[in-house]
Amino acid sequence: MPTHAIAAPRVHVVVPVKSLADAKSRLSAEVHEALRRELVLAMLQDTLRALLESPAVSAVTVVTPDAAAAAVAARCGACSIDERRALARAGGSGAGPPAGLNAALTGAAYRVRDTVAPDHLAFVQADLPSLRSGEFTAAAASAIASASAPAGPPGVPPRTGIGPGRAYIADRSGAGTTAMFVCGAATRLRLGFGDDSALRHAEQGAVALPGAWPGLRADVDTVADLRHVGRLGTGASTEALLRRVGVPGAKSR
C-alpha cells in the first residue's frame, strides 16, 4: 500500500510594529530619536529573519502604520498590512487592553484567516533580536502539543502545559508576553497584550509555556535590555546598532 508524507502543521506569525515616532520611548533618555528608529528597524529585521528561517513558520505578516517597517518586512520576505485596515477588519472584536494594539492584531489575524486559513497563528513581538529560529521551532511544537491537549475537569484550573487552544510565552521579567500561540483554525483569539499581559493571558485561560528559549523571552524596552541581548548575541543588524549606541560587548548570535 503506498504511503504519503503528511506535512506538519505550520504557524502563520503576526508581528506588530508601532509608528517609529512612538517606538521605544523608554530608551529616549539615552538613545537619540533617529538612532532609536534605526534600532527598531534593525531589531524587526533580525526578528523576522529568525522567524522566517524556522520550518515551523508558513508565513509572517507585519501589522504597522509605518511605511519604513512595511519596507523592512518586504525585504525580509514577510507580508504587511496597514494598521488602519487591520483595525477596520477587527470591528467590534472585544479585544483586550490596550485596545489599539490588540484590535490591530485581531484584525490582521482575521484577514489572515480569511485569505489563507492557517492551521495555527502566533503573535510575536518585533523586538526579539536574540531570537534563534530553533527556539521558535521548539516553542511552536510545544505550544501546539500543549494547547491542543484536553483541558481538565470543569472548574479545575489547568496545569502548566495543559490547556485548550492557546499558549503564551512570558518575557524574562515574567510580566509581559513575547509570543501568543492560537492553535487550531477556529480557536478564539482573545489577545491581551500590554502591561501585565502574562497575568491577563493566564486569567483568560491560556497555557504558560515553561521552556527556556532565552532569545524568545528577551524583548527590548530599556538600556538594561539592550545590554542583555548584547550578551546573548543578536542578529547582525542589531549588533551593528548596539555598537553605535555604545553597548559594550555586543556580539552576533
CATH of the domain at 234: 3.90.550.10
Q: Is residue 17 part of a domain?
A: yes
Report percent pLDDT > 90 for the chain: 72
Task: Identify the three-state secondary structure at position 146.
Answer: helix
Mean pLDDT of 210-230: 95
- Comparing CA positions, the residue from 39, 16, 49 lying closest to residue 222 is 39
User: What does the pLDDT read at residue 94?
Assistant: 54
128: number of Cβ within 10 Å: 32
Contact between 181 and 201 under an 8 Å Cβ cutoff? The reply is no
Please give the tally of structural domains in the chain.
1
Among 57-71, 85-99, 150-164, 217-231, the least confident range: 150-164
Q: Is residue 201 part of a domain?
A: yes
Residue type, 166: R
Mean pLDDT of 139-168: 68
Tens of pLDDT along 3-36? Answer: 444 445 689 999 999 999 888 888 887 888 899 9
User: What does the pLDDT read at residue 251?
Assistant: 84
Sequence-distant (≥ 6) Cβ neighbours of residue 51 within 8 angstroms: 13, 15, 57, 60, 124, 131, 133, 136
Which cell is 58 given?
A: 508558513
Q: What is the pTM of this model?
A: 0.90
User: What does the pLDDT read at residue 92?
Assistant: 61
Q: Is residue 44 part of a domain?
A: yes
Report the distance separating Cα 87 and Cα 91, nearest Å.
7
Q: Is residue 125 part of a domain?
A: yes
Contact between 157 and 75 under an 8 Å Cβ cutoff? The reply is no
Residue 233 class from Cβ within 10 Å (0-12 exposed, 13-18 middle, 19+ buried)?
middle
Q: Is residue 249 part of a domain?
A: no
Task: Identify the three-state secondary structure at position 79.
Answer: strand
Q: Is residue 2 part of a domain?
A: no
Confidence category of residue 248, pLDDT binned at 50, 70, 90:
confident
Whether residue 157 is predicted with pLDDT greater than 60 in this model: the reply is no
- Comparing CA positions, the residue from 171, 176, 173, 147 lying closest to residue 160 is 147
Q: Is residue 145 part of a domain?
A: yes
Higher local confidence (pLDDT), 93 or 214: 214
Q: Is residue 215 part of a domain?
A: yes
Structural domain for 60, as ranges: 11-244
